[in-house]
Structure 1
Amino acid sequence: MNYEHLTPVMGTITDITAYNDDCCSQFVTLSVDGQQINIIMTHDTFVVDTMRLFPGMRIAAFYDSTQPVPLIYPPQYRADLIAVLRPEEDVAIGYFDDSLTAIDNSLRLNLYQSTIISTMNGQAYLCSPANHYLLVYYTATTRSIPPQTAPGRIIVLCQAT
């Protein structure tokens, strides 16, 4: 999976139905600031922690912004990755450098002993998460530039080289 072009859509699930009579794909309807957005979840979609999705859950669905999307209303995207969010929790994905600053300068991470760092399959990540693509769960940021946060959880998106 190419993490560089993943773009999030965050909202609350309002409905889940079968997609095109395919039992392996689902159509997830999200409410995003009062607007409806449809997400296609296929057998290839990675759901963090393999959580079962249901209406009422708040999620972030990441899609590849370089892929074509149909020009329809409501918007429809094919999710590559889905992360379930707790109330007041945000999530970011991106490449973080030596100083744990996102390459686009959108976020800087301050790690604490309480920060949970793992791989996508839930195993402990024992090295520094610097210089990797990271999926970062956090609740609050400073108003500095870049904003700083003490993430509750980091998932290191290891890539084969």
Structure 2
Amino acid sequence: MIIMAQQTLVPISGIIQRITPISQDCCSWQVSIVNNNGITNFVVSPVTYVIQEVRLRPGMQVTAFYDSNLAIPLIYPPEYQAVIIGRRNANETIYAGYFDDNLVAEDQSLKLNIAPSTEIMTSNGQRFTCSLGGQLLVVYYSATTRSIPPQTTPRRIIVMC
């Protein structure tokens, strides 16, 4: 999996409606996600990071991220190559993006306040004790302040080393 700083990761959240193999070797799958905006298809391939290697299944609430800088076919329903996909809890948001040394997202949409209870790990499940600034982070959180940028104390942070 190669994740570069030029990526702009866009999330789509919803419920997995269907999972269909799209290659004869069964290494790539089309995952159809349904939400209030309709159906969106994602290609989940060996280069997709599946958070905590969870087995995806119909009925699961997920958030999938695609790179908006990549060319996409003009088809309906839309189909994107998933960069990251993960299960999410009800009333929880998953954000993926780069953060500066003050833990403000590159797009200024979120500021992190780390608590002792915040679980911080690498993408392979190891404890992460270095600086979070300048890293691509996958952040699980449920509530934010109404400030600009909104602030949150995340439940979990995954560092994409």
TM range, smaller chain: over 0.9
Partner of 2:36: 33
Secondary structure of the corresponding residue to residue 30 of structure 2: strand
Unaligned runs of 5+ in 2: none
Unpaired segments ≥5 residues, structure 1:
none
Please give the alpha-carbon distance, in whole angstroms, between the structure 2 residues aligned to 1:122 and 1:20.
29
Structure-2 separation of matches of 1:146 and 1:6: 18
Offset from partner CA, 1:24-78 (integer Å, 9 cap, x none): 1111111021501111111221101000000111111111111111111111111
Q: Secondary structure at the match of 2:52?
A: helix
Distance 1:21 1:73 in 2: 24
Of residues 141, 149, 154, the one that matches 2:144 is: 141
User: Aligned ranges for residues 127-138 of structure 1 at < 5 Å?
Assistant: 127-138=130-141
> Residue 29 of structure 1: SS of its match in structure 2?
strand
Alignment partner of 1:24: what SS? coil
Aligned-residue sequence identity (percent) comes to 47
Counterpart in the other structure of 1:103: 106
Report the Cα distance in structure 1 between the residues aligned to 2:107 and 2:31, rounded to whole angstroms: 30
TM-score under structure 1 length normalisation: 0.92
Residues paired across the two proteins, number = 158
Q: Find out whether 1:58 has 2:61 as its counterpart.
A: yes
Q: What displacement does 1:112 show?
A: 0.4
Question: 1:156 aligned to 2:148?
Answer: no
Task: Tell me the equivalent position of 1:122.
Answer: 125
Residue 43 (str. 1) matches residue 21 (str. 2)? no
| Segment of structure 1 superposing worse, 31-40 or 109-118 | 31-40
Deviating more after overlay: 124-133 vs 48-57: 124-133
Tell me the CA shift for residue 104 of structure 1.
Answer: 1.5
Q: 1:9: how far off?
A: 1.4
Considering only aligned residues, what root-mean-square deviation do their CA atoms show, in Å? Answer: 1.3
When normalised by structure 2's length, the TM-score is 0.92
The one-letter code of the counterpart of 2:78 is P
Distance in 2, matches of 1:146 and 1:71, equals 33
Shift of 1:22: 4.3
2:4 counterpart of 1:2: yes
**Aligned equivalents of 1:7 and 1:73: distance in 2?**
18
State the Cα distance separating 1:5 from its structure 2 match.
Answer: 2.0
